[in-house]
Amino acid sequence: MNISFYGPHTQLNLWEAAFLKHCPQAFFKAWESGDAPADYAIVWRPSMQFFTEQTQLKAVFNLGAGVDAVIKHTNLPATLPIVKLEDAGMAQQMFEYVLYAVLHYFRNMDAYDFQQKNRLWSELPISKTAADFVVGVMGLGNIGQYVAQQLAAYGFTVQGWSRTEKALKGVRTHAGLPALGNFLEQLDAVVLLLPHTPETKHILNQERLAQLKAGAALINVGRGDLLCVPALLEALDANHLRGAFLDVFEVEPLPATSPLWTHPKVRLTPHISASTLIEPSMAQIAQKILRLEAGKPISGIVNPNLGY
């Protein structure tokens, strides 16, 4: 069984060792042009050349939950299964990041940051308990569900929105575009965890940002193009939104000319909210490959028409 690895070459020996620990009978090799045909591919942001040469693959495993960098390739056979990572340690990391961002606004750290810059000493009253602070999670896949339920367990009132109906313990859910306005207008903070699809591009545009409760905060850890940045800046400058915590952007690295770098109401990080962990991701992929080899079904297969 030949495994072609098109991924981070840093610590390549660790990726290989983690995979072979669970699938020792395999031949694991970092891809080079001209390689012999592989049975399975493990990829992160693969090139078109990779798929042009590797034409006998049984399945492609993506080193992340977002698969837009794979399904954008038009030369993929329609029958080739594309498999995403299901958590593999990312959900807890994502929750930690989102919790940090939510607490930033819930505990008025944005206001205290302004006070420090302006040498102001003023204690701000805590007017809400966590239960009074409504957090909305847009995107209720595996990671979104985990984040929403962990926020609810922490004590926040949590609502969720997704394309289709979902039922989550402790979380009030909404589904479909007709329900989006009612969902947004109730929130003190909105967390974007949607995938990249044609339908989700700029889903938070000028009209929908205006539907958020005045003084709400925005946290984007999903995909950069979920958010229309000019509309966000307009909402921030008009004081309709109190702030934005951004980890993902339409163009990465974020260009040095972007006004997001210096906007006083924006906090940004370089796409680090959740990283792919070597051991759990390789264990998950190896186990799925073994199931496929045994003729058994696996979870995590992407629907290219939906984009996730």
Tokens matching residue 278:
């070597």
Strand partners of residue 4: 29, 41
In the three-class reduction of DSSP (H, G, I as helix; E, B as strand; rest coil), residue 69 is classed as: helix
Spatial separation of the C-alpha atoms in residues 56 and 153, rounded to whole Å:
46
Spatial separation of the C-alpha atoms in residues 27 and 16, rounded to whole Å:
9
Active-site hit among 73, 172, 263, 271: 271
Query: Is 45 annotated in the active site?
Result: no
Active-site hit among 104, 223, 242, 267: 223
Q: Which residues of 190-229 are buried (b: 16+ CB within 10 A; e: fewer)?
A: bbbbbbbbeebeebbeeebbbebbeebbbbbbbbbbbbbb
Query: Is 223 annotated in the active site?
Result: yes
Spatial separation of the C-alpha atoms in residues 176 and 155, rounded to whole Å:
26
- Give the Cβ contact number of residue 242 at 10 Å: 19
Strand partners of residue 83: 61, 301
Strand partners of residue 30: 5
| Helix 12-22 with 278-293: angle, nearest 10 deg | 40
H-helix or E-strand spanning residue 99: helix 90-106
Q: For residue 237, give the nearest of 203, 201, 266 by alpha carbon.
A: 266
Which positions ≥6 away from 297 have C-beta within 8 Å?
Answer: 291
Q: For residue 301, give the nearest of 80, 10, 8 by alpha carbon.
A: 80
Active-site positions?
Answer: 223, 271
